[in-house]
Amino acid sequence: MAGSMREPGKDSWELSAYIGWDASSRRRRYSTRTFHGTKRQAAKALADFVSEVNKQRATGMSTELLTVREVLNRWLTDRSQVLSTSTSDRYRGAIRHVELHGLGSLPVGKLRPHHIEDLYTAMLRSGLSGASIRKVHWPLRQALAWAHRRGYTPFVATDGIELPPLGEKRANPPDSAHVRQLVEFALGDDPTWGTAIAFSAWTGCRRGEVCGLQWRDLDLDSKSALIRRSVAGIPGGVEIKGTKTGEVRRIALGTKTVELLQSHRERCEERALRCGSCLVEGSFVFSPDVSGSDPYNPRSFTRVFVQTCRSAGVPHMRLHDLRHHSATALLKHGTSVGEVMDRHGWKTVSMVTRYRHLLEATDAGAAEALENA
């Protein structure tokens, strides 16, 4: 049946037009409209309504046909050519929040700002932070803008929504003594993973950047490393991509780091030789393969790190906390903000503000120094 009408009140008619089959609920879907007038006028209005809906269905431009779920999935499919696999997976995880709170089946043309505000309020009540809500808001806003550009919705429902505050982000780096204890234990327990942990602590590189390091990126004579790629764990394997900011940076290496890498290179060459293989320029520095052809999965690095912390008897810390340790140590040493940003691959100064509370003692010393200058 293409359409129907009923009279819930005198000269008031509810018009229904069939708009398609919903595969998820396995039910017919209808669009409704209210009309005021005589029965004959209502019948003509119904015919016009059905014709309008059929035309929209034929062109695929009906806002009633597309649900929020379908818009999100179409947008993600459209963007899959330019998004990394790990980013796409992260967006799918964010989209699941929209599904869990019942917005997925809502026609996108009926989505209003209050629906999204209710979603974010429910997320806050469930204990999620403002940062977590922003991770949902970003793909949702992009998908709705995509839908608006294609005429699927008359406006972008996320426009003008007030997001909950982020709150002050503070980095809590591990104690330097615990980092030294961890590195010393790791090098003695397993030189390969120990070198990876020491490299992370002494360079401040992200775990994916450590896993993505190749021998051709290292210039041990000039004591420098080129950070130009990253590795991300994806279902069934790994993905090699650019750095988080998309930029390549060169960092200096300390004498101890260079010595560890030289020893690690010798071990890798000996292992490859025993297996009848050899290292090439494109071999990964840290690899499960004797020829270094494949990088470690960053998740494997994290698992080893957690177990090493337990065995070393140090307080709980995350692998990423070594990056906080690096930045804090440099700032306390008097390294300029610009140099710290360059070394760690930060694009904005706002990243440095999360270390501000750790530098109050340094600032007090600067005040004394100025008075005695």
Confidence class for position 107, pLDDT limits 50, 70, 90: confident
pLDDT tops 60 at residue 284: yes
Q: Do 218 and 268 sit in the same domain of this protein? A: yes
154 falls within a domain: no
Judge if 127 and 234 occupy the same domain: no
Number of domains in the chain: 3
Regarding whether 272 and 141 lie in a shared domain, the answer is no
Q: Please check whether residues 261 and 201 belong to one and the same domain.
A: yes
pLDDT band for position 193 (cuts 50, 70, 90): very high
User: 120 and 235, same structural domain?
Assistant: no
Confidence of residue 192 (pLDDT cuts 50, 70, 90): very high
Q: Which of 11, 42, 59 is the last residue of a domain?
A: 59
The CATH number of the domain where 77 resides is what? 1.10.150
Residue 232 lies in a domain: yes
DSSP 83-95: S-HHHHHHHHHHH
Is residue 110 in a domain?
yes
Q: Which two tokens mark 59?
A: 């062109």
**Same domain flag for 144 and 212:** no
pLDDT tens digits for range 237-260: 898 999 988 899 999 999 999 999
For residue 18, what pLDDT is reported?
Answer: 79
Q: How confident is the model at residue 58 (pLDDT cuts 50, 70, 90)?
A: low
The pair of three-digit structure tokens given for residue 238, joined into one six-digit string: 């790994």
CB-CB contact of 209 with 218 (8 Å): no
Asked if pLDDT for residue 359 goes beyond 80, the answer is no
Tens digit of each residue's pLDDT (9 = 90 or more) over 6-41:
988 888 888 888 776 655 566 777 777 788 889 999
Residue that the structure tokens 């950047």 belong to: 209
Neighbours of 89 (CB within 10 A): 16
Question: Residue 150: CB partners within 8 Å, gap ≥ 6?
Answer: 61
At 323, is the pLDDT very low, low, confident or very high (cuts 50, 70, 90)?
very high
Q: Which residues lie below 8 Å from residue 219, measured CB to CB, with a gap of 6+?
A: 225, 226
User: Is 170 or 340 the better-scoring residue by pLDDT?
Assistant: 340
Distance CA 90, CA 97 (A): 12
Residue 57 has pLDDT above 70, yes or no: no
3-state class (DSSP) for residue 6:
strand
Rounded to whole angstroms, how far apart are CA atoms 92 and 86? 10
Query: At 339, which CATH number?
Result: 1.10.443.10
Residue 157 lies in a domain: no
Among 25-29, 184-188, 191-195, 273-277, the minimum mean pLDDT is found in 25-29
Examine the domain organization and report whether 312 and 210 are in the same domain.
yes
Q: What is the distance between the terminal CA atoms of the chain, rounded to a whole angstrom?
A: 89
Range of the domain at 44: 3-59
Nearby residues of 199 by Cβ (< 8 Å), 6 or more positions away: 205, 210, 213, 257, 260, 261
The predicted structure's pLDDT at residue 65:
63
Per the structure block, which two tokens stand in for 283? 């071999």
Q: Give the three-class secondary structure for 146.
A: helix
Instruction: Indicate the average pLDDT of the chain.
Output: 86
370 within domain boundaries: no
The two tokens of residue 315 are 């307080």
At 297 the pLDDT is 94
Query: Which residues, in sequence order, are bridge partners of residue 181?
Result: none
The number of helices, as runs of H, and strands, as runs of E, in the chain is 13, 8
d(CA 1, CA 191) in angstroms, rounded, equals 73
pLDDT beyond 70 at 158: yes
Percent of the chain with pLDDT strictly greater than 70: 87
Whole-number pLDDT of residue 89:
83
SS3 call for 22:
strand
Residues 127 and 188 in one domain: no
- Say what the pLDDT of residue 182 is: 96
* Residues 244 and 298 grouped into a single domain: yes
Residue 218 Cα distances to 201, 214, 265, 271, 284, angstroms: 17, 7, 11, 20, 11
- Does the residue 169 lie in any domain? no
The predicted pLDDT at position 364 comes to 59
How many CB atoms within 10 Å of residue 186?
24
User: Is the predicted pLDDT of residue 332 greater than 70, yes or no?
Assistant: yes
Q: Which of 113, 133, 149 lies at the terminal end of a domain, its last residue?
A: 149
Question: What is the spatial distance between Cα 193 and Cα 305, in angstroms, rounded to a whole number?
Answer: 8
Q: Are 78 and 99 found together in one domain?
A: yes
280 located within any domain: yes
pLDDT at 307: 96
> Is pLDDT larger for residue 302 or for residue 370?
302
For residue 361, pLDDT beyond 60: no
93 and 206 together in one domain: no
Residue 163 lies in a domain: no
244, 303: one domain = yes
pLDDT, tens digit, 9 for 90 and up, residues 75-105 = 998 888 778 777 888 888 888 888 877 888 8
**Among 41, 59, 77, where does a domain finish?**
59
